[in-house]
Amino acid sequence: MLRLAFATGTEPGKWFRRFEENTAHGGLYTVDADDALAPLVAGEVDLALARLPDPRVDDTFHVVRLYKEAPGIAVPKDSVYAEVGEELALADVADEHLNYRVADSGLVDVPAVRDALQVVAANVGIAIAPRPLLKVLSKKQVVPLGLKDESVPVTEIALVWRKDEDGEAIQDFVGVAKGRTARSSRQEKPKRSAREKAKAKQARRNVNNSLQKKKKVPKQRKRR
């Protein structure tokens, strides 16, 4: 069984389903964590779908970067900003109280973001964090918008695991996350029972017999 921790703000459900349907590694045990690297470092999971950058990730880890997270800004639902559209600039909210902002290093404190959003929901100030994270954590009283500002660090979502604990299950999940199909030769396929194999063989025979019969049908002569 593969053990995996995934960061809050990621939604890897489709990868989980494909992994369980198309591989035979004994299933998947998953943990939703604000800090997905913590259980990996503690040896509690084999693989982490984590948010980077993170100073704990050194050359003892394999890292497969999957996608970048656009920065976002959370505003109160009843504010004028919620009506402007999909994107704001920092200059637009310069006079607003800032409850949270991604650190210049790119580190994201998810519990602090959650606390900041409670303040925003009370119609006080704004919060700046990765937009996918804001979408997951925001309640009805909060509207997550895009943020157009190059000074805000861009975070990334990546698969991280220890180099000395690599294995087929991890490699198969990486393949699923990167779009490898069920027909890939690298992926371990679920073993079929003898009955399933016999059914498949019979189905192939039926198809072949049908094709052969069609070939043997004589052509009708044209009447003169």
Per-residue pLDDT of 77-126, as tens digits, reads 999 999 877 899 999 999 999 999 999 999 999 999 999 999 999 999 99
Name 7's bridge partners. 33
More confident site: 217 or 79: 79
Domain-wise residue ranges, the chain: 2-68+155-178, 71-146
Please state, for a pLDDT cut of 90, what percent of the chain lies above it: 76
What angle, 0 to 180 degrees and rounded to 10, lies between the N-to-C axes of helices 13-22 and 168-177? 130
The confidence score (pLDDT) of residue 212 equals 57
Is the model's pLDDT at 224 over the cut of 60?
Answer: no
Tokens of 208: 């072949």
Which residue spans within the chain are E strands per DSSP? 2-7, 28-33, 47-52, 61-69, 71-76, 87-88, 98-100, 126-130, 142-147, 155-162
Name 47's bridge partners. 4
The confidence score (pLDDT) of residue 180 equals 72
Is the model's pLDDT at 59 over the cut of 60?
Answer: yes
Per-residue pLDDT of 204-216, as tens digits, reads 566 455 545 545 5
Closest C-alpha among 199, 69, 209, 66 to residue 134: 69
The confidence score (pLDDT) of residue 144 equals 96
The confidence score (pLDDT) of residue 189 equals 44
Contact of 166 with 1, CB cutoff 8 Å? no
Instruction: Please tell me the distance from the alpha carbon of residue 200 to that of residue 194, in angstroms, as a whole number.
Output: 10
Q: Which residues, at least 6 apart from 47, have a Cβ–Cβ distance to it below 8 Å?
A: 2, 3, 4, 5, 40, 159, 160, 161, 170, 173
Contact of 72 with 131, CB cutoff 8 Å? yes
The confidence score (pLDDT) of residue 208 equals 54
Helix/strand/coil for 210? helix
Is the model's pLDDT at 76 over the cut of 50?
Answer: yes
- Region 2-68+155-178: CATH code: 3.40.190.10
Instruction: Please tell me the distance from the alpha carbon of residue 67 to that of residue 13, in angstroms, as a whole number.
Output: 16
The confidence score (pLDDT) of residue 185 equals 40
